[in-house]
Amino acid sequence: MRIKINDQGLELTEQSSLAELLSAQNIDTTAIAVALNGKIMHRGHWQQTKLNDGDTITLVQAVAGG
Amino acid sequence: MVHNKLNDEQLLRYSSNILMKEIGEAGQQRLLKSHVLIIGLGGLGCPASQYLASSGVGQLTLVDHDTVSLSNLQRQTLYSVTNIGLHKAKQAADCLLRSNPDINVTAVTEKASQQNLETLVAAADLVLDCTDNRKTRYLINQSCYRLKTPLISAAARGFNGQLIALNPEHDHGCYQCLYPDSVTEPLNCSNAGIAAPVVGIIGASQALNAINYLTLDTITPNALTIDKLPWGYLQSFNGLTQHWQTLYLPRDTSCPVCGGEHAH
Ligand SMILES: [Zn+2]
């Protein structure tokens, strides 16, 4: 199964959830928004969201400056 | 709504707005009758307030407790060296009124707090969040949702800018849904740097969203009704690739601010 994280391709050998992927990739999830195929996924749904072939994941770091 | 007729000077001053069918004389009258609250008069608030003042938004309220420093002048284009040490809100108001004495500008030099935001937001038709810290961002989001006032929230750091138009009457998520962690303060402009044109682009986008909202927030080409604002879409700009990314923010039904009674 092939997915994309922030425009980088990644091959997944086994079925995984969004939460498992973020953890396997050692992504610090404090102050980030995570989107799946253009839609932001709330934290409470990361565990139950299963990834599919061709999924695009986008990580957006919070910025607060102005 | 009853509109006062524009006088000759206004017809000339705002002629470039009036010439466009998307604004026209009716849109200009709406702008002149509008009240926008701008919180934060730094790198975002300078361009945002400048374009709203010059476009003829009739009442602007500028909130900032900070004073101008030399390092602000890299991107905060309303100020000059003679303003260093003086309140940004007051200096910005003076600068905007020099360019357009046809509008009213009120400067508030107190720090935005839960208490004063209730009164300030209640008086406004629209709020622009141009602040430099997350604590105030959460407070502004809460007040806007409580009072059902639309909010154009923006932020920038380094070469990255972010913008989201939030309408409490719509069923998308809010700022709290977007970044639910309220604990950590990410890097801001003063400790991480900021590319001046990037914050300028984002601040100008806030002004464009505001003008689109205040004139008529939908257009109807071919009898279809289209929103002139991308309500609920986080727009993220990368100044190094000059690429805009758009992500939809659904409402989190467990959100303490917009979930609960609003949940669908
Ligand atoms: Zn929310």
CB half-sphere exposure, B42, CA atoms < 13 A: 27
State the total domains in chain B: 1
Residue B100: φ, ψ to 5°: -140, 90
∠ CA B254-B259-B261, rounded to 5°: 125
At residue B51, the pLDDT reads 98
> What is the distance between the alpha carbons of residues B112 and B65, in angstroms, rounded to a whole number?
8
Residues of B within 8 A of A64 (CB-CB) are 131-134, 137, 155, 157, 185-186, 188
B105 part of a folded domain = yes
- The residue ranges of every structural domain in chain A are 2-61
φ/ψ of B123, rounded to 5, equals -85, -10
B111 domain-assigned: yes
Q: What is the ipTM of this complex?
A: 0.95
pLDDT band at A28 (very low <50, low <70, confident <90, very high): very high
pLDDT, tens digit, for every residue of B63-78?
999 999 999 999 999 9
pLDDT at B128 over 60: yes
Q: Per CATH, which fold does A2-61 belong to?
A: Ubiquitin-like (UB roll) (3.10.20)
Mean of the per-residue pLDDT values of chain B: 93
Selected for mutation to probe chain B from A40, A57, A59 (highest B CB count within 10 Å) is A40
- CATH for B21: 3.40.50.720
> Cβ A65–B155 below 8 Å, yes or no?
yes
Q: How many other CB atoms are there within 10 angstroms of residue B17's CB atom? A: 19
Evaluate whether residue B3 is within a structural domain.
Answer: no
Taking only the tens place, the pLDDT of each residue in B199-245 is 999 999 999 999 999 997 677 777 777 888 999 999 999 999 999 99
* Packing angle of the helix pair B196-215, B24-32 (nearest 10 deg): 110
DSSP for A14-58 reads: S--BHHHHHHHTT---TTEEEEETTEEEPGGGTTT-B--TT-EEE
The whole domain housing B131 covers 8-262
Selected for mutation to probe chain B from A56, A59, A63 (highest B CB count within 10 Å) is A63
Of B178, B59, B53, B45, whose CA–CA distance to B112 is shortest? B45
Q: Does residue B120 sit within a domain?
A: yes
pLDDT value, residue B55 = 98
